[in-house]
Structures are given as C-alpha cells and as structure tokens.
Structure 1
C-alpha cells in the first residue's frame, strides 16, 4: 500500500483500527505490518492470517472493512493491492518474495510449466528454502501468485537481480502480461530490522542502546528475583547459573520483549521524515519515563 509522504503516523493509527476490526472476525489468527524497504516509495505491506479462505473472504467483504477503507482512502497515493493465498505460515527466519502474475488467457498450462522450470533453477541457488505456486481463487483472487523464500535478504536479492532470472522472465513473458514483486522480511530477522535492510531499516546506535536497556533491565531483574533465587537454592556453580540466566534473557528479549518494544516505539525508532525532531524528543521522554517507572517499581519490590 503506497502511503502518502508525511502520513505515516496517521496510517499506523488507522491500520491498528483495521487490525482490531479484523480480530473480531471468526478465524482471525494474526495481522503483521511490514514497513517499506529502501526504494519502495513508502509502500507498506500488511499480512492478515485467517484459518480458512472462507473466513478471510468474510472479513474482506464485510461492511466494517469497507467503511474503514473509505475512511482511510486519503492516506494512500493509489488504491491498495491485495493478494490472497492459501498455505502455511513461513518459517521464522525466512525472507519471502510474493510475485503476482497477470496470465494471458489460454496460457495457464504453459505458465505452470514455465514456473516449474523456474523452480528447478531456483532450487540450486544459495539460501533457497522453498517455493509455492497458488492458483487463482474464483471470485476472490484473480492472479497466479508465486511465493518463494530464502534464508537471508542477500540471497533473495541475488536471485531477483540475477541474469539467470532475467532470462527466465524474458521467456515467461510469452505467458503473462505483467507481474508484481513484494519482499517481506520475517519479524525475527533481527531485533531492529524493521524492513529487512542491513542498514536502512536499523535505528541509530543510541536508539538501539536505549531500547535494549529498556527491555533488558526488567528482564534481568525479574529473572534474578525468580529463577536466580531458585538456582541459588540448588547451589549451582556461578558460571552455570550465569549461563542459564543469560540464555533465558536472550530468549525473552528475542522472541517476546524486543518485538513488543519495537512495536510500541516504532513511531520513534522509524519516524516519519516530516516529524523527525519532535518524534525523537517524544520517544526519548517516553523511554526515560519507562526507566524511572521500572526503577521505582523494583526499588519497592526489593526494599
């Protein structure tokens, strides 16, 4: 979805309302928001997961969704595109490309054969993790969609920019009139990788340090007061207790607290260009206030 420049914060607020509305529908499993990568002209991606295609279609055709789309119309430079897929969720560390194709009438079989040929070539490329081809869903999804996954953004980009793929696309143009590529990075690709890029999507070092401290301090304190106390009772060696504590801390940060903190402070970690100074100041004040709150809470608990 191409969001208008300067409307990023308004879009986030609107998208949260959409997510909440979708969550009230039967079969809803998750909603994931992916900010734009460099060169994508402020295009955002949203993944809604439902248990079945029918339940997803109910949400897509609902009056609630139509009203929200009308309300948020001025947030976008053009009408948002959507792809509807039936399949399993991607592996946690995968980087995914979603490629939708407009197939020329009568060339469906040739396209499927061509796509099989592409897969055979892709299977030999570094980092390839799998490919799924989704047929159109009558009345819901008109395009053919290929979803392929790699173990890193670098390996995915190597394939997308390779001469081999360029030659295959030239051959495939006999069967499709056009295609669209969207790259989606996993939420677990790193503590601060909002858009999958090695540098562009990573906040400055000072923001990283403040944010990690915000999540790390209460984690260590809670573990010391609970698990640490139990480890002391069983008289484990200090080096082993420290290793267990660190392993628990890293796990909690990686899979629980850092994704949560990133989501809450996304407005500050990846601010819109139009409000960067004000947003930075508000973010710093909010983080420092959280520091003070944690210090006061643990001072009272340990008194």
Structure 2
C-alpha cells in the first residue's frame, strides 16, 4: 500500500509582519500546488487569538516527491524569504516520524467540492490563493485544507474551510468580499457543492469512558469528507440533470441536494466510517503516532480511489 509523505512547516510570526506572512504563504502555495506529487495542504493558525505559531502541513504522494520538493531551488528561496518576518529568523521544516499533532480546539467546517472547467486549473489556483488571503483576515479563522485532484487530468478539488464558530464562519460566507470573489469564479468553476459540519458531531462520535476525550477534530473532518464526497459526486452525476429541467432555480435545487446529502451522510456514510476507523480515532496512547500515520495512509489511498472513480464516472465513460 502506498504511504503518504508529510512535510510540516512551523513559523513563529512577528505580529507586525502577519500580512507579509500571508503574502509569503500564498507564494509558497502557488509553487507547491503545481509541484509533481503534491496531494494536499493544511494551514493551521495559532491556537490562541494572539498566538504567533503558524503551521502548514503538506502531503505528497511519496517520499521521493517530497524530497524532490525540499531539494528544489524554489523551496530554498521561499524558506530564505520567510526569515524577515519570523521571530526565530528561520522556517522549521520537519518530516515527522509519526503523524502531526492534533489541530487545537474545536471548529466548524465548510466542505466545498469544486468541479473546474478543463484548462482553467491555473486560474482556479490563483483564485484560491486570493480567497484564502481574504478569509484569513476574518475573526475565528482556523485554517484551510486543500485537496488536489488525484491526477493531472482531474478537475475535482476539495476544500475544508474551518472557523472557530458557526457565527464567525457565517460572517465570512455572507460577506460582500466573498460575494465579489465568487462572481469571478463563475468563469472557471463548472459546478460547486458545499456542506457545513460542526466538529462535535453529537451522537456520531463516542467518547471512551477510560479517558473521556473525544476524537481529534481533524480526524473527524477527514472521515466526514470520506463519506460526503461520494454522495456529492453521485448527486452531480444523477440528481442535478433531473432537477435542472424543472426550472426551480439554484436555491431550491441546492436545498434538495444538501438535504439528501445531510440525510445520507448523517445516517449511513459517517456512522459507517466511524465504525471502520474506530481504531484510528481512539488509538492506544503508546502507539498513537504510528496508528495515526497508518490511518492517514489508508485514507490517502481511499481518497485517491474515490477521486479516480468519480473522475471516470463524471467523464461519461
């Protein structure tokens, strides 16, 4: 089984240089997302409101491709450029022997599934960098996970957008700034579906009696994505063509699709995923690092299989 390769970047940012850091982060993302072997990225802001410790988790499809990125001159140039706004004057790069630590706190997640028009992938990337810079300025921002297509021919991207509360997420989602950015996206996004989830997931995630702690939010979010993605793709393939001729409008058809997604996800796919991955959600603490890494490897393979299958299905094959 193929194993995902993880690179963790840690930056202690000087408060007065946070805008410069955002600009640098966008430049870094522009470079790494087009690099061979890139799989996904996760940006995790400080746990505390006035904290300065930022983390980027980059996933590559193999150790060889991760090593190639680390040895790439552009990677070195970007690391050197970060020194001017960091407290410790250096960007820490680590290839962990075990999975990265849990993202702090709880948050609300907006899962966004975007189908990009052929040939418009670079335009979409540029747009994601700009919208990420905008949403990071809003209170409660807790990072963004970006999943690229499984192959260079794929057109389906997945985004997990996290905020500390539903109110703070809604403030961004309904903002005039986001509305303007969405207008731009009509030229290169063919179809987009979104779902919102709170990370507590009451009734879904058991709390073991021996330590009383719930599963890490980032693990729960990945299992939700595992079960939600197939539901949304099936709706795009089969439900959307049935509803479009009815002329009910975007709001009504989106509501129907979301209602079905919530029902199927809540009662079937997420509970099943939790049963299958219970060993990963609540590992023995002495083996937590190794088990977490094994679970990430299994999920990486499952995500890749989902993306390849639904890319084939939606291509009309």
TM-score (norm 2): 0.36
Larger radius of gyration: 1
Structure 1 length normalisation: TM-score?
Answer: 0.37
